[in-house]
DNA sequence: TCCCATAGTTCGGAATATCGGAACTATTGA
DNA sequence: TCAATAGTTCCGATATTCCGAACTATGGGA
C-alpha cells in the first residue's frame, strides 16, 4: 500500500468518483452499479481498468458473488496506515466539486 | 487549484521528494538545488518538467532572481483551501519512506 | 559592447500509459 | 446445453512521460 499508488489512483476524477460511491454506500457495490459518473457512462473495459487500479492501490477489495463482483472499500485499513489521508482527499474533491 | 492536479503532481515520488525539499527548507530553493533526489540525479529537462507540474498544480510559486529561479512552497494557501491535505500526503510519504 | 558561464526551457523522438470497442471468460438459471 | 449477465483481456489509437540536445535569458567580466 504505497502512497504514490493511492494518490495516482485518486488523481483521476472518474476513479475518485467511483471510489466515493463505493465507500459511501455501505461499502459494497457491483461494478455495474458504478458505471455512471455524473451523467456520463463509463465503458465497461475502462471501468474494469479503473477498478483494477483502485484494487492494486489497496483502496478496495473485490469479491465475486455469483455472477457479480462486489467492491468493498478499505477505508479503515488505509486510514490506519495513513491517518487522515483518505478523509483529506475525499473532502478536497467534495469541496472542489461544490 | 484542483485536487486532481495536486494528487497527480504528488503521485510521482520524485516530485513529492522535490516538493518536500522545497517546502522544508525555508520555502525557497533554486531548481538546481533540488536536482538530486536520494542519490539519483534528475536530468534538468525532467526537473524543469516536474517543477512545471508542481507550479501548475498550485503547489509552488516560482520567481526569477537574477540568473536563478526560486521556488516557494504554497503550503499555507493549499492548506487553507484543502485543510489537512498536504500534511496527510507528506506524512504518508514520510511513513512509507521510513 | 561582446562573449562566456550559469540556470532553465523547449523541442523531438523513444518508451510508456490510457481509453474504449470487440472478443473472450466465468457464473447462474432455464 | 444454451442464453443471459458481469467482468476481463486484447489491441490499436491517442496521449503522457522521459531525457538528451538545442535554445533562451540573465549577469559578470574583459
Taking Cα atoms as reference points, which of B73, B29, B37 lies closest to residue B54? Answer: B73
Nearest CA in chain A to B92: A82
Q: Closest nucleotide to B62's CA, by C1' atom?
A: C8
Measured over the CA atoms of residue A35, residue A48, residue A21 and residue B53, the dihedral's sign is negative
A73-77: long-range contacts, CB 8 A cutoff, minimum separation 24 = A73/A19, A73/A22, A73/A23, A73/A27, A75/A23, A75/A27, A77/A1
Cα–Cα distance for residue pair A71/A51, rounded to 1 Å: 9
Q: Residues B20-26: what's their mean pLDDT?
A: 83
The mean pLDDT values, 10 residues at a time, for chain A of 98 residues are 97 96 77 84 95 97 92 95 97 90
Q: Closest nucleotide to A43's CA, by C1' atom?
A: C20
* pTM listed for this prediction: 0.93
**Which nucleotides of chain D does any protein CB come within 7 A of?**
4-10, 17-22, 25-28
To probe the interface with B, which of A11, A13, A56, A91 has the most B CB atoms within 10 Å? A11
A83 CA: distance to closest CA in chain B (Å)? 7
Cα–Cα distance for residue pair B79/B81, rounded to 1 Å: 5
User: What does the pLDDT look like over B51-93, one tens digit per residue?
Assistant: 999 999 999 999 999 899 999 999 999 999 999 999 999 999 9
Whether residue B28 is predicted with pLDDT greater than 70 in this model: the reply is: no
| pLDDT given for residue B32 in this prediction | 80
- CA dihedral B17→B26→B61→B49, nearest 10 degrees, is -30
pLDDT band for B11, please (50, 70, 90 cuts): very high
Amino acid at each position: 500500500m504505497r502512497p504514490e499508488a493511492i494518490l495516482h489512483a485518486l488523481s483521476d476524477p472518474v476513479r475518485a468518483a467511483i471510489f466515493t460511491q463505493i465507500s459511501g454506500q455501505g461499502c459494497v457495490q457491483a461494478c455495474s452499479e458504478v458505471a455512471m459518473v455524473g451523467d456520463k457512462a463509463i465503458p465497461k473495459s475502462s471501468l474494469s481498468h479503473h477498478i483494477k487500479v483502485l484494487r492494486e492501490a489497496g483502496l478496495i477489495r473485490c469479491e465475486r458473488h455469483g455472477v457479480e463482483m462486489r467492491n468493498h472499500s478499505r477505508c479503515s485499513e488505509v486510514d490506519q496506515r495513513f491517518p487522515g489521508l483518505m478523509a483529506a482527499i475525499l473532502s478536497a474533491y467534495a469541496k472542489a466539486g461544490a
